Amino acid sequence: MKKIAVFTSGGDSPGMNACVRAVVRGGIYKGLEVFGIIRGYNGMIQGNIIPLQSHSVSNTIQKGGTILKSARSKDFMTPEGRKKAFENIQKLGIEGIVAIGGDGTFRGAAEFYKEYGIPTVGCPGTIDNDLYGTDYTIGYDTAINTALDAIDKIRDTADSHDRVFFIEVMGRDSGYIAIACGIAGGAEIVMVPETLMDSDEVASILQAGWNRSKTSSIIVVAEGDEEGNAQEVAEKIKTLLPNQFDIRVSTLGHIQRGGSPTARDRILASRLGLAAVDGLLAGYKNVMAGVINDQIVFTPFEDTFQKDKPISQEMIEMVKILSI
């Protein structure tokens, strides 16, 4: 193998640039030519592929977002789009690809491999930490620290005004962000898609706290919780406990995706980027590089998005114990 390419796809996450940097410099160190595909699968289809040198990734390890840009590609979901992407890859003599992204990215890579056999190794770049095959994903640590900083600030206001705050964090299908920043932020309740907690139970917990003279509370809600988003849950509680609490809602939104990555995310991204290059050279294909028990592992793409990665029941129990 002489030429490889790297791209980022799907939602951006802090640390993607550190991963791109590691792929570029790791590839050059191993004697490879490295190309960058701009705007993910769209760039592959459009032929927006550029050569990258070591200096191309200088001063990027501390930057959030992605210097290669990102996009969601409907065209790549079609056989015609994938054919065009393959022709552009083949034209440049690219023999292996490093795909940085989440489950959608890996689904596309798996389909591309089935049709054209281009070896691809993925790096898990998503703040949700919901991919099977790795303990942590690139961007997760930064996201929970960003959310935690906001929760700490909101706690000051909640305490000063005797308010109940429903704080919505990202997590359409996963409660990893919610459970981590909920525990670290001392939340009284954490609502995640993985466990059922209805509005009656939330109201009961708040009422019990009120009976213990607790005048302010923080409820962290993952956006994909089965009871609804933070605004919807708050409205239900207002109906169940009318005029008892001063209830407010804060949706943290996309601030969780941005910002300079933490040291932990920079190191994780660098490890996985180098591992992806080594994996390609070792003959791995159609797999994701991850870290389990601090060891590099390679997991088939299909497993990463077909197998569940459940939240630890111990962490869910921690919320209940620590909020009494």
Catalytic residue ranges: 128
Distance CA(139)–CA(57), nearest Å, equals 18
> Residues 66, 18: contact at Cβ < 8 Å?
no
Distance CA(296)–CA(269), nearest Å, equals 12
What is the CB neighbour count within 10 angstroms for residue 67?
16
Residue with tokens 């949700």: 128
The phi and psi torsions of 299 (rounded to 5 degrees) equal: -120, 130
Distance CA(24)–CA(60), nearest Å, equals 12
Distance CA(16)–CA(48), nearest Å, equals 19
Rg of the chain over Cα atoms, rounded to whole angstroms, equals 22
Distance CA(142)–CA(266), nearest Å, equals 10
Output the six-digit token pair for 317: 């129990």
CA–CA–CA angle 253, 130, 178 (5° rounding): 45
Identify the DSSP state of 114.
H
Distance of CA 267 to the CA centre of its chain: 16
Distance CA(199)–CA(231), nearest Å, equals 12
Distance CA(118)–CA(41), nearest Å, equals 14
